[in-house]
Amino acid sequence: MHTEPFNELLARNRDYAKGHPGGDIPPVPALKTAVVTCMDCRIDAYSALGLRAGEAHVIRNAGGRARDALRSLVVSQRQLGTRQIVLITHTTCGMSSFRGGDLRGELGPAADGIDFDTFDTPEQAAADDADWLAAHPLVLPETTIGAFVFDVQTGELRHVKTVARPSAGR
């Protein structure tokens, strides 16, 4: 099997590449920022934050959860110098519509190791994750963490909380 199932996306990519500026953009995010948000199909993360190529890492997973992003955040901070984390959950997220334990039960033993990290409200999820990261030993000192909720109907970000990780030795 070849490209047939993907021909539509490949055609769209060819259109995109025609307008691609080319050249060498540095891989180090200019805003020293890593964004963590949900995989939701209604969120165009780059556009919603007005990001330009080269400015920020964008990490996305089901719910936009921090635990699932930890591996990526460590690489982002240690290898590529980011010091600001922007956590963005969103309204009407599917991760509030089921229980992780129920899904694990349906899936059986193959899913035993998976914490689906579902939540009740996007505000609480983002706030909890900001606190969790601020206390995590792998997050660098002097990291600033912002928790936000994205409204999928209006496209607006709502600020929930800002937490600064204490400096080392304090």
Site for its own copies in 71-100 (CB under 8 A): 71-72, 74-76, 78-80, 84, 86, 92, 94-95, 97-98
Name the residue nearer to its own copies (CB basis): 45 or 128: 45
Instruction: Report the nearest approach of its own copies to the CB of residue 170 (Å).
Output: 15
CB of 90 to its own copies, least distance (A): 10
Q: Does 111 bind its own copies (CB under 8 A)?
A: yes
Among 125, 126, 133, 163, contact with its own copies (rule: CB under 8 A): 163
The upper half-sphere exposure of residue 102, i.e. CA atoms within 13 Å in the direction of its Cβ, equals 6
Q: How many residues interact with its own copies (rule CB under 8 A)?
A: 93
Tokens of 140: 């660098």
What are the distances in angstroms from CA 44 to CA 58, 60, 61? Answer: 11, 11, 13
Name the H helices within the chain: 7-18, 45-48, 70-80, 100-107, 122-134
30 lies in the binding site for its own copies (CB under 8 A)? yes
The yes or no reply on residue 142 touching its own copies (CB under 8 A) is no
Query: Closest distance between its own copies and the C-beta of residue 60, in Å?
Result: 4
**If phi over 0 gives left and psi between -120 and 50 gives alpha, with beta otherwise, what is residue 147?**
beta
List all residues 6 or more positions away from 155 whose beta carbon is below 8 Å from its beta carbon: 48
Please state, in angstroms and rounded to a whole number, the distance separating the CA atoms of residues 160 and 163: 10
The answer to whether 165 contacts its own copies (rule: CB under 8 A) is no
Closer CB to its own copies, 84 or 124, in the complex: 84
The single residue among 99, 101, 107, 142 that binds its own copies, judged by CB under 8 A, is 107
